[in-house]
Structures are given as C-alpha cells and as structure tokens.
Amino acid sequence: MDILKRTILCIGILTIPMFSIADDNQITILQEGDNFELDITQIGYSNIIKQWTSSEGIDGEDNTIIIKQARDRGNKSDPNTIELRRVWGDGNTLKLGQGFQVGTNGNFTRDYAEYGDTFAHLNITGDNNNILMTQRTNSSSDGHEYWLHLEGDDNDIYTVQREGGSQYINLDIYNDGNDVDLRQLNAGDHYMSVILRGTESTDITVLQNGWNNKSYSVTNYCYTAGGCTINVSQGN
C-alpha cells in the first residue's frame, strides 16, 4: 500500500482539525507560535505522527495539541506511532489517545474493539504544561510502549495504559514541582521505569493493577531538604 505523507507547517495563531481513515499514513508537524490548536484523528494501522529531528518541531506557548489514533482491525501487527521529538514552550496542553480514551477531563473515549500495538515517544521542555496520554487495547497480544523525556517545572503528567497486552512506561524527568500520575491497568504484564531529578519536591503516584507480572523502578535524585513524595500502589 502506498504511504501518504503530510507535513503541517504553521506560524502564528491557527486552529487545524484533521481526520483520516486509512493505513500507512505519515504526518510531520512543524509549528512555531503561540495560541495554536491542532486536532488530528487517525483510524487504521501503521499510522505515524512524528518530528524527524530534535531541532525542529513545536515551539511556542499556550498551544493545544490533540492526537487520536485507533486501529479498526487487527490483521496487521505494525503499531500506530506518535514521536514528538521537540515540544518547546510553557503553558501547552497535549492530549494524546492511542486507542483513544484520555480522561481527567480532556474527554475522548472510544468503545469500539481496539487492537492496540501502540508506541509513543515525547521530548518536552517547558513549564506549566499539561500532558495527558492514554494507550488502550482489547487485544491480549498487542501492547503499549511510552517514553517521555521532560525538562521543566510545575507540569502535570497523567498517563494510563490499560486492557490487554504488555505495558511499558519509561519516564526521565528533570524537574521541580511536577505532579506525575502513572497507571497501568487490567491484563498484561506491567513494566515501569521512572527517573526523577530536581531541587524541589515532585509528587509521583504509580498504580499497577492487574493479574499478571508487575514491576517498577523509581530512581529519585532529590536535591532539597524538603524531600520528595512518592506513592506506589500495586494490586489486582
């Protein structure tokens, strides 16, 4: 199947909705400016949204990036992929749903059969950003993988991986005063690695809830007399 490639290049104040139902699509985002809103929906498999280098991408403040990806059939194992290698600025909101469902309360949901097999990698620099990421599947074999590198203060991070398949989260955060909420739910093995570095406290809550193997590693370099708060819960 031919691959459809699109590049979105925007400078200034703009709102762009995009919707596609197809396979093997690629969208590249290059955006500079403030108060920008981008809403992308992709339905199918082997769809890719990415920035090719860390030197160009999304630069600006008070932007809203909404990305929804879902697989409407399970006859191919190639994952849907989101790779945002440069998101730079303050006060931005990212709402990303692979298999949809974001929550608290950026809304989206999707109750259809979802075949999963998702991958996301984000590099974010800035303060007072709101990052909501969910990955879900109804398949027992296709899983999720999520990598986040964050440098900045007072950010809110909410991540949920749920339903079947293996679930993996890797977070590397250079931060002060961030609020981190990580959840891996339902069936499948759960794996999580978190590294925190900062001079002020960060609150991190880790919930792993399911019937299979669960493991996590939290390394906290907290350079403050006030200390940092870590809450971890595992259950069935």
Q: Domain range for residue 44?
A: 4-235
What's the pLDDT band for 111 if we cut at 50, 70, 90?
low
The confidence score (pLDDT) of residue 150 equals 92
Number of domains composing the chain: 1
pTM of the complete model: 0.82
Task: Kindly indicate the confidence band of residue 129, based on its pLDDT and cuts at 50, 70 and 90.
Answer: very high
Per-residue pLDDT tens digits for 23-34: 567 788 888 888
DSSP the chain: -PPEEEEEEEESS-EEEEEEE-SSEEEEEEEESSS-EEEEEEESSS-EEE-S-SSSSEE-SS-EEEEEEE-S--S--PPEEEEEEEEE-SS-EEEEEETS---TTS-----S-----EEEEEEEE-SS-EEEEEEEES-SS--EEEEEEEEEES-EEEEEEEESS-EEEEEEEEEES-EEEEEEESSS-EEEEEEEEESS--EEEEEEESSS-EEEEEEEEE-STT--EEEEEEE-
